[in-house]
Amino acid sequence: MPTYEYQCEECKNKFSVVLSISEHDKGNVACPKCKKKGLKQLVTPFIAQTSRKS
């Protein structure tokens, strides 16, 4: 599954989460520190490598 990186707009905490595509589409990610949902997604250049196993 791809890893997404986020930065919280509230407390500037940066963190990464592993989400399925559908979970990511729902946008249900909250900051683990302050539980806010105002998150900015950061670019992760290494997404493709982990999910290629066919």
Report yes or no: 19 and 44 within 8 Å, Cβ to Cβ.
no
Cβ of residue 34: shortest distance to Zn ion, in angstroms? Answer: 4
Of 34 and 47, CB closest to Zn ion: 34
Burial of residue 43 (number of CB atoms within 10 Å: 0-12, 13-18, 19+): exposed
Size of the site for Zn ion (CB under 5 A): 7
CB of 48 to Zn ion, least distance (A): 28
List residues binding Zn ion (CB under 5 A). Answer: 8, 10-11, 13, 31, 33-34
